[in-house]
Amino acid sequence: MDIREAYLNFFASKGHEIIPSAPLVPNDATLLFTNAGMVPFKSIFTGEVPRPTPPIRTSCQTCIRAGGKHNDLDNVGYTARHHTFFEMLGNFSFGEYFKKDAIAYAWEFVTQVLKLPKDRLYVTVHESDDEAFALWEQHIAKERIYRFGDHDNFWQMGDTGPCGPCSEIFYDQGGEHFNTPEDYMGGDGDRFLEIWNLVFMQYERSSDGKLTPLPKPSIDTGMGLERVTAIMEGKFSNYDSSLFMPLIEEVAKLCGKPYAYESGASYRVISDHIRSVTFLLAQGTTFDKEGRGYVLRRILRRAIRHGYLLGIKEPFMYRLVDKVCEL
Ligand code: SER
């Protein structure tokens, strides 16, 4: 299944306009990079720009989380699911529908299009959100609905900007494969994997921390393409999926040593970082000693250092670009 196409077509069938991915460098001084699918729509959420017609949209947005509020750089390569560059599938409502439809659409997509088994699914809501809890109860047993606090179930774009309580969908990868003490719902283990975040956008946070209600309650959802692809392909790491293995195989060719998961962090670092570096350079960001260009330089350096660890002493990153383009 082409997951991007299935997602966009599903939401188009519900009346959403399909919007192409916006550039990685946003037209927004408060952010280093586009770090979520909602970023290009920020000023529609806040009411600065009038609502489009139809006021509902869907996209597959390229994102970078390296530097700034959402910064995954140091984890990348060492976990199954962190990336600097990733794609986020999302549907957005600018005051048109709210929690009820967002939840119903997400459940329909996950169970009827992706056909993920219901006995593998769990959801979370903000501890104060009785409304979302009651709406989820129409789809899933209440034992599978968890309440968490702000740390897990309140999402904000950055220090300022649109924000609100959220509800997340989790996929259980199975206790037979994951049984560390951290493998419980809400724990840091990999067993329960968050696949989709539904944000109930209700506020805008200003620089003094104050929350002001948005003109209309809105919806911003984000589903990680890499995670869902891995689940659909029956893989326990995003890096084992068809989005990354071809890159990892290229790295193995370059260093002349076969890849093994346990000792393979450097292969994964390079296969992740080449995607960020390729997209940023292609979109006009260049190396610098500060700001975005510095983050780009740090990502490139980190990849090259891992190339050294694999014994590659010649310039090599450019040799992976064709594979990124192909993928
Ligand atoms: N903005 C939310 C997130 O990034 C949902 O898209 O998780």
Q: Which H or E run includes 194? A: strand 192-205
Give pLDDT tens digits for 212-239. Answer: 999 999 999 999 999 999 999 999 999 9
Residue of minimum CA distance from atom 4 in ligand 1: 36
Residues 171 and 263 in one domain: no
Position in ligand 1 atom list of the atom nearest CA 36: 4
Residues 78 and 221 in one domain: yes
For residues 107 and 98, give the distance between their C-alpha atoms in angstroms, rounded to a whole number: 14
User: Residue 234 is which amino acid?
Assistant: G
Residues 177 and 257 in one domain: no
Whether pLDDT at 69 is above 80: no
Q: Does 238 fall in a domain? A: no
Confidence of residue 46 (pLDDT cuts 50, 70, 90): very high
| Residue of 47, 35, 44, 48 lying closest to 17 (CA atoms) | 44
Residues 156 and 265 in one domain: no
Out of 156, 166, 168, give the residue to mutate to test ligand 1, the one with the largest number of ligand atoms within 8 Å of its CB.
166
- Mean pLDDT over all residues of the chain? 96
Evaluate whether 31 touches 37 at the Cβ level (below 8 Å): no
Domain holding 212: CATH number? Answer: 3.30.930.10
Q: How far is the CA of 153 from the centre of ligand 1 (A)?
A: 11
pLDDT for res 197: 98
Whether pLDDT at 303 is above 90: yes
Count of domains forming the chain: 2
Confidence of residue 70 (pLDDT cuts 50, 70, 90): confident
CA dihedral 11, 14, 16, 22 (to 10 degrees): 0
Instruction: Provide the domain limits for residue 89.
Output: 3-232
| Residue of 155, 164, 189 lying closest to 174 (CA atoms) | 189
- The tokens for 21 are 């991915």
Q: Does 237 fall in a domain? A: no
Residues 63 and 155 in one domain: yes
Residue where a domain terminates, one of 232, 254, 283: 232
Q: Does 315 fall in a domain? A: yes
Pairing of strands 56-64, 17-19: parallel
Pairing of strands 154-156, 56-64: unpaired
**What residues contact 269, with CB distance under 8 A and at least 6 apart?**
76, 77, 302, 303, 306
Half-sphere exposure of 125 (CA within 13 A, CB side): 19
pTM above 0.85, yes or no: yes
- The tokens for 293 are 């260009």
Position in ligand 1 atom list of the atom nearest CA 90: 6
Q: How far is the CA of 197 from the centre of ligand 1 (A)?
A: 6
Q: Give mean pLDDT, residues 309-317.
A: 97
| CA dist list (Å): 257 to 207, 218, 253, 260, 274 | 50, 50, 7, 9, 19
Confidence of residue 4 (pLDDT cuts 50, 70, 90): very high
Position in ligand 1 atom list of the atom nearest CA 157: 1
